[in-house]
Amino acid sequence: MKALILSGGKGTRLRPLTYTGAKQLIPVANKPILWYGIEAIVSAGITEIGIIISPETGKEIQLKTGNGDRFGAKITYILQSEPLGLAHAVKTAADFLGDAPFIMYLGDNLIEDSLDSFLVDFKKEDLDALILLKSVRNPTAFGVAKVNERGQVLELIEKPKDPPSNLALVGIYFFSPEIHQAIATIKPSARGELEITDAIQALIDQQKPVAARQLTHWWLDTGKKDDLLEANRIILDTRLESEISTEIDPNSQIIGRVQIGKNSKIINSTIRGPVIIGQDCHIENCFIGPYSSIADGVRAIDVDLEHSVILQNAKVENIHQRIVDSVIGQRAVLKVAPRRPKALRFTIGDDSQIELVRSIE
């Protein structure tokens, strides 16, 4: 059994952050989104992993993720020269996949469920495809499955105007080698891509064994800022363990579950968890509120922050009003003059510098 993780694409829904980096490397609780998928796959006993990369962000993903040693896996990087669809990604990885069954995992997905039971069902029932589903409030925004009472998939519809169910395709699939023949029979969709839903539908039309399972816990597609913040909130809420790896000055207060990395300085500040702070940070005269993630090398002075994500080496200084629901990119610099409105909301790209100045009346 092998795994294929899709980590290409341009991440247009997360711009400006993804103008300069891969969306799959944006951290949730200070760990790249992509790594959660790798860890889930390895936990299920699959250690031979191919990662689809794009020309724009592939080198960054390779440099950050490495050869797989840190995960106990062997990673092979596969270049997809153009984003021509999920089924096209499978075609691109044909040499790597060979005749092996495999799990296909979209690299910006996060799920709480373990993959183990799904893998057992896939093998036990000798399926050609097993798709994972989750009930959603807005099925018109997703690929949707029509499933009978026995869990057999009858039809897949991409973003239907009149959905046959509220069961959305999660973006995690188990395939036998039969999927390659199915992909060979399909044509590009109206948007010019080879759709994996069309390939699965081809298996269904050929009466191949295709089944579905529903997730019982949360699923997050981290393709937008608010989704990213929600993923950060849930991971901090459910997985964060307290660990203080640096000295805290006597004028600071740590409340609740808080993790702080080595060589970080916490000076005259209150940290109220769940919060994670990376290594080599300087936090002074700050209140860092719940559901905040601060990456390595961040400098924050005179800041009131909560429910936000600050990326590596950013500087946020002299802001005396609350920052909420914000994502601040790598190396960004944010400074604000003394008088201001009650709250600020930001999505700030890498290398940005922003100063907000109130005019003198």
Is it the case that residue 341 has pLDDT exceeding 60? no
Buried b (16+ CB within 10 A) or exposed e, 312-340: bbbbbeebebbbbbbbbbbbbbbebeeee
What pLDDT was estimated at residue 101? 98
- % of the chain surpassing 90 pLDDT: 66
CATH of domain 2-235: 3.90.550.10
Q: Can you name the CATH fold of 243-356?
A: UDP N-Acetylglucosamine Acyltransferase; domain 1 (2.160.10)
Contacts of residue 75, Cβ cutoff 8 Å, sequence gap at least 6: 38, 49, 50, 51, 65, 66, 67, 68
Of the listed ranges 200-209, 246-255, 320-329, 342-351, the least confidently predicted one is: 342-351
Is it the case that residue 247 has pLDDT exceeding 60? yes
Specify whether the CB–CB gap between 296 and 261 falls below 8 A.
yes
Please, which pLDDT band fits residue 20 given cuts at 50, 70 and 90?
low
What pLDDT was estimated at residue 337? 58
Please, which pLDDT band fits residue 11 given cuts at 50, 70 and 90?
very low
Please report which helix (H) or strand (E) contains residue 341, including its range.
Answer: none
What pLDDT was estimated at residue 352? 66
- pLDDT (mean) for 319-327: 88
Please, which pLDDT band fits residue 249 given cuts at 50, 70 and 90?
very high
Q: Each residue of 122-162: pLDDT tens digit?
A: 999 999 999 999 998 888 888 899 888 887 888 898 888 88
Is it the case that residue 12 has pLDDT exceeding 60? no
Q: Each residue of 69-118: pLDDT tens digit?
A: 999 999 999 999 988 999 999 999 999 999 999 999 999 889 999 999 99
Q: Higher confidence at residue 11 or residue 283?
A: 283
Q: Each residue of 266-314: pLDDT tens digit?
A: 999 999 999 999 999 999 999 999 999 999 999 999 999 999 999 999 9
Of the listed ranges 43-47, 173-177, 350-354, the least confidently predicted one is: 350-354
- pLDDT (mean) for 335-342: 61
Domain map of the chain by residue range?
Answer: 2-235, 243-356
Is it the case that residue 15 has pLDDT exceeding 60? no
Is it the case that residue 224 has pLDDT exceeding 80? no
Is it the case that residue 182 has pLDDT exceeding 90? yes
**What's the whole-model pTM score?**
0.88
287, two tokens = 């209140």
Please, which pLDDT band fits residue 255 given cuts at 50, 70 and 90?
very high
219, two tokens = 């699923």
What pLDDT was estimated at residue 351? 63
Instruction: Please say whether the dihedral angle defined by the alpha carbons of residues 68, 28, 110 and 190, taken in this order, is positive or negative.
Output: negative
What pLDDT was estimated at residue 17? 54
DSSP 3-state assignment of 157? strand
Specify whether the CB–CB gap between 253 and 271 falls below 8 A.
yes
Q: What mean pLDDT, rounded, does the chain reach?
A: 89
